[in-house]
A and B are shown apart, each in its own frame.
Chain A
Amino acid sequence: MLELQNISKDLGGKTILDGVSLKVNRGETLVIVGPSGTGKSVTLQHMVGLLRPDQGRVLVNGEDIHAVPGRDQERLRGIFGMLFQSGALINWLTVFENVALPLYEKTQLGDGEIRDLVQRKLEMVGLSGQGHKYPAEISGGMKKRAGLARAIVHDPQILLYDEPTSGLDPVMSRIIDRLIRELQRELKVASVVVTHDLQSAVTVGDRIAMLYEGRIIEDATPKAFMASRQPFVRDFIEAQFGRAAAPAA
């Protein structure tokens, strides 16, 4: 469904990605973890075509998103839904209008159909009755949920999450995790979650990949990941859970 083949990217003379290869299948959730500044968000931006790799290919349903003509690239982008770190809601639109935006702009659906669809998605993320509010009037967690409703409103096949729990309190983080899991079950989409929150990664992921200095140094099931003997993976786990609490390798 989504495959990164040997992606390399230099920014400012620094190698950010160095031969990254990843594959996500339908109905699977891949979590990419790693310390800040290791290129996790850059990887996501390559997946959706916001950044062009210096080397390598990004295949979406077998088509290279960077090699196809503009119209096809637009079609391939339609396969994606993306939740941005800050929610990235348009400030002068209400929550309802934000969620409805891709439908108004990219489909021929009537007002009634759009209203029903948006209400349904807002219910899915627990925001029913909040559609009239502006982004400035809602909390960080609600912004993320509204961003999520917008990401899924056109029924994408691939969902990308950029730091879905960053900046949220632990309770709200777990709510978002649960939401990601529920959406996964209901929509059967391929998901890629970028995070440095290992607890969240273990909760939502079917596979966890660790990005370190531009390379994937581990790609395993959550259980196998937590038992990894890779020194950097061990350091990362112990830094989050503490040496005593971290599962033994």
Chain B
Amino acid sequence: MKIYQPEYWEDPHSPVDQAGRFFLLKLRNAGRALYILAEALFWIVTLRAVWQRRKEVVRQCFVCGVKSLGVTAVVALFTGMILSLQAGLFFKQYGQAVMVGALVAETMCREMGPFMTALILAASVGSAMAAELGTMNVSEEISALQVMSINPVRYLVMPRLLAMIIMCPALTVCTNVVGILGGMLVAYTQLDVSTQAYYDNAMRYLQNKEIWVGMLKSVVFAVILTTVACHEGLSARNGAVGVGRATRTAVVTSFLLILMTGYFITRFFY
């Protein structure tokens, strides 16, 4: 891992100066985050490093996946129910309530499933990653690793990234299924759509492309939120305040990037 020297800038002289510095700072952070990502991907491709850190990869899979399953399932259930209710009431006016299955299934698999899963993971696991690495940074544990010639990206970032790349799509599949079932529950109890009709419509209109685009999104979101969280954590300075700032920045930046990237991926494929 490249060791970045601490930087201290003089106070800005004017608003233009301030804006320029803000832009340069964001650009520099993006560059550093991409550097960390490239290095972590290199270690993932170098399978030996993955094998050496397999226990940590499994532990991170448990943290990312199993521990997030409950909250993801609840959010997915209600997302599906809301979608079904909103769309169903509209469709019902035209006697097309049966179409609600198609809408819920397509929306969940292509948009809401990956999006909601990534947001939950960014808020829970991403923030925890930033806080954990940030605390390690301010308590000199990262420096200790560097002195021991242990690459922090290989040791800390690589297992987290790999675990997230594995678990985010897996959780997305769960989100999709639970969301569609939530929609089915509302359709059956409040829209008078039989479960068979709901299922048939969902399957008829849901295409493979929807599922794969959703899976692609979930992988991209996993990479984004892990990279942002790890970069912010590894850049944390100034004790507890710095860790708090890193955590907040990680969550906000992940949310924004996930939202924007989601749009562009959909735009690219449709």
Interface set of A (CB-CB < 8 Å, partner B):
11-13, 45, 48-52, 74, 77-78, 80, 82, 84-86, 88-91, 101-102, 105-106, 147, 150
Contacts and interface: CB of A to CB of B under 8 A. Distances in A.
B-side interface size class: 10 to 19
B208 interface: no
B4 to A, nearest CB: 10
A82 B142 CA distance: 13
B149 A88 contact: no
Contacts, number: 55
Contacts of B143: 45, 50, 84, 88
B3, B136, B143, B147 pick with most chain A CB within 10 angstroms:
B147
Contact of A78 (B136, B141, B149): B149
Chain A contact residues, majority secondary structure: loop
Chain B contact surface mostly: loop
Nearest to A83: B144
17 contacts: A11-B6, A48-B147, A49-B3, A51-B5, A74-B149, A77-B146, A80-B147, A82-B144, A84-B143, A85-B140, A86-B139, A86-B140, A88-B143, A90-B144, A91-B136, A102-B150, A105-B150
A12 B237 CA distance: 14
Contacts of A11: 6, 8
A106 B8 CA distance: 34
B148 interface: yes
Given A13-B10, A105-B155, A90 B146 contact: no
Nearest 4 Cβ contacts at the A-B interface: A12-B8, A88-B144, A88-B140, A102-B148
A74 B3 CA distance: 13
Contact of B148 (A12, A51, A85, A106): A106
